[in-house]
Amino acid sequence: MSKPLNKQELHNLAMNIVGEDLEEQGYEFVAINSQLKRNPQYVCVDKNAQYYFVIVKVFLLPASPEDYDVVWMETFREHARSKDAKVLYAGVGLGNKDVTGDPVYLNQPYLLDYTGLQLLDVDMN
């Protein structure tokens, strides 16, 4: 029987999903940090030399991956603004394919709710 993925493994799976998306969109990786609760997870640069801080958050379905802590995100946007970087948010929802509420298992199919990268305006306020 397969083992359930722990929090770090779920985070790593979400990071892989987002990393592939970033590559497909042509971002170049400057730094990667896959530790839980360490932000940003990715520092990237686009073809115009604009820096991006990418925040990856994993959620267990049915929780919405579009929701994030607005107060915390505002402090992070301040940090990005001070570094002349933009912030991309990537919420990734993962769930058990067969039984709602059951864990996601290693090497087993899973549900994915990922709508892509969201640009969070650092020039607000």
Give the closest residue to 88 by CA, choosing from 109, 115, 59: 115
CATH number where 67 lies: 3.40.1350.10
Encode pLDDT of 28-55 as tens digits.
999 999 998 888 999 999 999 999 999 9
Residues with Cβ within 8 Å of 10's Cβ and at least 6 positions away in sequence, in order, are 58, 60, 94, 104
In a domain, 82, yes or no: yes
In a domain, 30, yes or no: yes
Contact 60, 76 (CB under 8 A): no
Kindly tell me the sign of the dihedral angle through the C-alpha atoms of 61, 10, 19, 86: positive
88: left (phi over 0), alpha (psi -120 to 50) or beta: beta
In a domain, 36, yes or no: yes
In a domain, 79, yes or no: yes
In a domain, 83, yes or no: yes
In a domain, 14, yes or no: yes
In a domain, 33, yes or no: yes
In a domain, 2, yes or no: no
Domains of the chain: total = 1
pLDDT in tens, the chain (125 residues): 689 999 999 999 999 999 999 999 999 999 999 998 888 999 999 999 999 999 999 999 988 888 777 887 888 888 899 999 999 999 999 999 998 888 999 999 999 999 999 998 755 44
Full domain range(s) for residue 35: 7-120
pTM score: 0.90
